[in-house]
Amino acid sequence: MSRPPFQLAPLDSTHDRAAFNGDSEPLNRYLREQVTQDVRRRVAACFVALADAKRIAGYYTLASASLLLTDLPVSTGKKLPRYPTVPAVRMGRLAVDKEFKGQGLGGALLADALNRVAGSQIAAFALMVDAKNEAAADFYRHHGFIALPDSRRTLFLPLATVRTS
Ligand SMILES: CC(C)(COP(=O)(O)OP(=O)(O)OC[C@H]1O[C@@H](n2cnc3c(N)ncnc32)[C@H](O)[C@@H]1OP(=O)(O)O)[C@@H](O)C(=O)NCCC(=O)NCCS
pLDDT band at 91 (very low <50, low <70, confident <90, very high): very high
Residue 5 gets which letter from DSSP?
A: P
* pLDDT at 123 > cutoff 60: yes
Residue 64 above 50 pLDDT? yes
Q: How confident is the model at residue 3 (pLDDT cuts 50, 70, 90)?
A: low
Above pLDDT 90, what percent of the chain?
Answer: 94
**Ligand 1 site, CB within 6 A:** 22-24, 27, 94-96, 101-107, 131-132, 135-136, 138-139, 142
Cβ atoms of 149 and 163 within 8 Å: the answer is no
| Residue closest by Cα to atom 44 of ligand 1 | 136
Residue type, 128: M
Q: Report the pLDDT value the prediction gives residue 1, as an integer from 0 to 100.
A: 46
Q: Round the average pLDDT of the chain to a whole number and report it.
A: 95
Residue 115 in contact with residue 163, Cβ under 8 Å? no
Ligand 1 pocket test: pick from 6, 30, 60, 139 the residue with the most ligand atoms within 8 Å of its Cβ: 139
Is 136 exposed, middle or buried, given 0-12, 13-18 or 19+ CB atoms closer than 10 A?
Answer: middle
Mean pLDDT along residues 115-128? 97
- Could you read off the pLDDT of 130-151 as tens digits, one per residue? 999 999 999 999 999 999 999 9
Q: Are strands 151-158 and 56-68 parallel, antiparallel or unpaired?
A: unpaired
User: Ligand 1, closest atom to CA 100?
Assistant: 7
pLDDT-above-70 percentage for the chain: 98
Check if the beta carbon of residue 89 is closer than 8 Å to that of residue 117.
Answer: yes
The Cα 75–Cα 56 span in angstroms is: 40
CA distance 140 to 109: 12
140 is catalytic: yes
**How many A from CA of 163 to the centre of ligand 1?**
21
DSSP string, 51-92: SSSSBEEEEEEEEEEEEEGGGS-HHHHTTS-S-SEEEEEEEE
Please indicate, yes or no, whether the overall pTM of this predicted structure exceeds 0.75.
yes
